[in-house]
Amino acid sequence: MAQEERVMEHPLFTNLARQAALNGNEVHAIDQVPFRILSIPKGHDLVREGDDANSCIVVIRGLLATTKVNELARRQISAFHIAGDMPDLMNLHLDVRDNDLRALSGSEVARLDHKAMLNLCATQPKIAMLLWRRTLTDASIITEWLLNIASRPALNRLSHLFCEMLTRLEAAGLADGSSCPLPLTQTDLSEASGMSNVHVNRSLQELRAQKLITFEKGFLTVLDWDTLASLAGFDPSYLHLKQQRLRTRRGRTSAALN
Amino acid sequence: MAQEERVMEHPLFTNLARQAALNGNEVHAIDQVPFRILSIPKGHDLVREGDDANSCIVVIRGLLATTKVNELARRQISAFHIAGDMPDLMNLHLDVRDNDLRALSGSEVARLDHKAMLNLCATQPKIAMLLWRRTLTDASIITEWLLNIASRPALNRLSHLFCEMLTRLEAAGLADGSSCPLPLTQTDLSEASGMSNVHVNRSLQELRAQKLITFEKGFLTVLDWDTLASLAGFDPSYLHLKQQRLRTRRGRTSAALN
DNA sequence: CGTGGCCTTGACAGGAGTCAAGTATGGTGG
DNA sequence: CCACCATACTTGACTCCTGTCAAGGCCACG
């Protein structure tokens, strides 16, 4: 079903095999789910509030965000989605979606057939459980964002965001040591962190001045992970990553305690 | 297994039957899940951060909250749980819980056997789907909280919280017209809304002065729903309630548009 | 070479936090 | 029945973090 010239693995498989071993039966069931590859240009909305919740997406490449605008026309980003994420899995069982899905950079996604997905869940309890589990870690991240936005001042808040993104991108194999691509504008950051773009700008300058990070041209480099993570109060356990060693490898935060 | 003298319905059944019709087979499977009734005094923690995620709770009576304290010792409430809610369903598939569950009023809960629940999910896809769906609406609420806290000023933020709680309590049959029990202290409100308790106090006075609400002795009365809801930008669709008529009955917000 | 994003800066205002003290309220025990 | 205490609520004064407004600079792109 893949419309690409190269033979590609089923996107769902790439996604789930990272979490647990699947038997032949399950792999076969996954292969039966039809999908299409879509390219979304930067700034475009893939799904809109009010749309029927009939899509199911796996990010192949790029950076997307779940956004929602409130009655005062202020836009809020409630989640970032990187390669491997399933941005609207949350809407699999809900009738109408109440948020938008926007590409923050040029992105490529696989759109899985909605009915086939529901059928897959109904017939393969283990896969359903894995997908469920994914939605739960997504929810865990949103809860952490709530804590972050509600309880930390600007500098710490931004730091936390950077710590999270570097950790997630590293876990997805997209980071290079302490650097990673992060194609966000300062306005994007402001919409994700609940602060004004002006204040984001000044906080970034402060982070740079303290030699904690570099952030330019959509590229983030963490210069001093320990200080940044402790400023942010960052504890990656809420990400529920399989490979906790990633954290210890870079995480002198905990190593320093020994 | 119920340790009460009166014969009581299985708490899970009460919970799920509200969402969808269950066949005899499914009802029987539910009845096989052992549970115990617990009473938790006001202010006590039922589960703590770091505990093994081996419990599964249904609220019978009272008000609980999921809380988490950050590195600055500031406590944040990320969810309220009323009768019928399942506060730690989110942890069913996650290893270690990263938050606390606290009784904000004297409460009564049913603690379901964790393994039996996992088994139930593995053998009854439809029930698993219903439970999954519940976690998704919980996530939807948290996302709305994120939007609320990140993007609305104090007065609107509190208003939104009140709108939500009245709507949820009404849907659970616990509200009396425009009034409902809401045993929260102003400190609780401040921890839920991400503002200081002093500022909560002043905002409450403002809401009272504008004759929008009454809030005393753990009892909330909404005096002017329309104004309150529009101030809050409240749209109940994120609650994913079955009976949308509840909203229209009281919701002159939408009725007024006709 | 113009135009539009995006980033940067300055000046100013105001919302919200903190600190601290004082006032209800309710439960407890003598 | 009343003194006592803890908890919750109120209030005032002050500070400051953060938002808003407005203007200017820097690219990238057509």
H, E, C per residue of A23-68: CHHHHHHHHCCCEEEEEECCCCEEECCCCECCEEEEEEECCEEEEE
The answer to whether A75 CB is within 7 Å of strand D is: no
B103 is near strand C: CB distance < 7 Å: no
* CA gap B171, A50 in Å, rounded: 23
Lowest mean pLDDT among B72-76, B90-94, B163-167, B211-215: B90-94
- Measured between CA atoms, the residue of chain A closest to residue B234 is A71
**Tell me: the pLDDT tens digits for A187-237?**
999 999 999 999 999 999 999 999 999 999 899 999 999 999 999 999 999
Confidence at B245, pLDDT banded by 50, 70, 90? very low
What does the pLDDT look like over B70-118, one tens digit per residue?
999 999 999 999 999 999 999 888 877 889 999 999 999 999 999 999 9
Is residue B204 a contact partner of residue B220, using CB atoms and an 8 Å limit?
no
Nucleotides on chain C within 7 angstroms of protein Cβ:
5-11, 15-20, 26
Report if CB B154 to strand C is under 7 Å.
yes
The reply to whether residue A128 touches residue B129, judged by beta carbons under 8 angstroms, is yes
Q: Does A94 touch chain B (CB under 8 A)?
A: yes
For range B225-250, the mean pLDDT? 81
Nearest Cα neighbor of A195 from B191, B150, B78 is B150
Sign of dihedral through CA atoms B63, B66, B71, B72?
negative
Choice among A172-176, B38-42, B223-227, B254-258 with the minimum mean pLDDT: B254-258
Q: Do B128 and A125 touch (CB under 8 A)?
A: yes
pLDDT computed for residue B243 by the predictor:
62
Q: Which nucleotide is nearest to B184 (CA to C1')?
A: D8
Specify the pLDDT at position B94: 85
Q: Is B199 exposed, middle or buried (0-12, 13-18, 19+ CB in 10 A)?
A: middle
The model carries a pTM of: 0.92
Nearest Cα of chain A lies from the Cα of B56 at a distance, in angstroms, of: 15
The chain-wide mean pLDDT, for chain A, equals 89
Q: What value does the CA radius of gyration of chain A take, rounded to a whole number of Å?
A: 19
**Chain-chain contact of B122 with A125 (C-beta, under 8 angstroms):** yes
Handedness of CA A216, A222, A224, A229 (dihedral sign): positive
CA of B168 to C1' of D10 (A): 30
Grade residue B7 by pLDDT with cuts at 50, 70 and 90: low
**Is the CB atom of residue B24 positioned under 7 angstroms from any atom of strand C?**
no
* Complete DSSP assignment for B45-71: EEE-TTSBS-EEEEEEES-EEEEEE-T
**pLDDT for res B254:** 39
Q: Smallest CA–C1' separation from A203: which nucleotide?
A: D18
From chain A, the residues in CB contact with B72 under 8 A are 151-152, 233
Question: What are the tens digits of pLDDT across the range A131-145?
Answer: 999 999 999 999 999
Q: Which of A18-27, A77-86, A113-122 has the lowest mean pLDDT?
A: A18-27
What's the token pair of residue B20?
């969808």
Q: Does residue B120 contact residue B29 with C-beta atoms inside 8 Å? A: yes
